[in-house]
Amino acid sequence: MEKRKMTSRHTPFEQLYKSYYPKLVAYAVLFLKNDEAHDAVQEVFLDLLERKDKKWDEAHLNAYLYKAVQNKCVDAIRRKTVKDQYVTAAGKRILQMESEYFYSSRNEIEDALMSRELQELIDTAIETLPPKGKQIVKLYFEHEKTAKEIASLLDISRSTVENHIYTCIRALRQKLAKFLT
């Protein structure tokens, strides 16, 4: 039996690939993660393979390949940046929608109940005030009258109205202190 001698029958493209691939991947790793670097270099070689003119200018090939890899890396970085921005924006929107869906209606109900309960407590506390104080506080808070308007309505001085308001508010704060914290 005759031993056949293995000859190198690589195409020029295969020789080019074997020669440049490791160097170009090492260069691409400066920009991208390892897997992404391999992908970028493979894309460059695919582009080169798909070129209509299969002739490569050996003098400029080195510069062309490195520049092509650099451009692929920049493109990959841009795509990743856009994707990350989109994911971040979408994530924020999802969290906002989730918050509105799950918590807003419950909070509205809780707020309404607490508001109603607090209003009942305030009304009960107002009822314990002296008659003149109760009247002034209701005119001031419920009917939104000014001290001057209340003084005119009740035919008393403005300072008397202001004193009643101050005294009543202080008394209400004391009665409602445990609920206001």
> Domain residues of the chain, as ranges?
11-111, 128-181
For tokens 């080019």, what's the residue? 16
The pLDDT value given to residue 113 = 67
pLDDT at 120 over 90: no
User: Which CATH code fits 128-181?
Assistant: 1.10.10
Q: Cα separations (Å) of 50 from 38, 92, 118?
A: 18, 42, 76
Count Cβ neighbours within 10 Å for each residue of 141-173 and write b for 16 or more, e otherwise: eeeebebeebbeeeeeeeeebbebbeebeebbe
Whole-model pTM: value is 0.46
The pLDDT value given to residue 142 = 84
Model confidence over 54-107: pLDDT tens digits?
666 777 888 889 999 999 999 999 988 888 887 787 777 777 776 666 665 556
Model confidence over 135-174: pLDDT tens digits?
998 898 888 889 999 999 999 999 999 998 888 888 888 8
- Domain spanning 11-111: CATH 1.10.1740: yes
Q: In the numeric block, which tokens belong to residue 85?
A: 């921005």
The pLDDT value given to residue 105 = 53
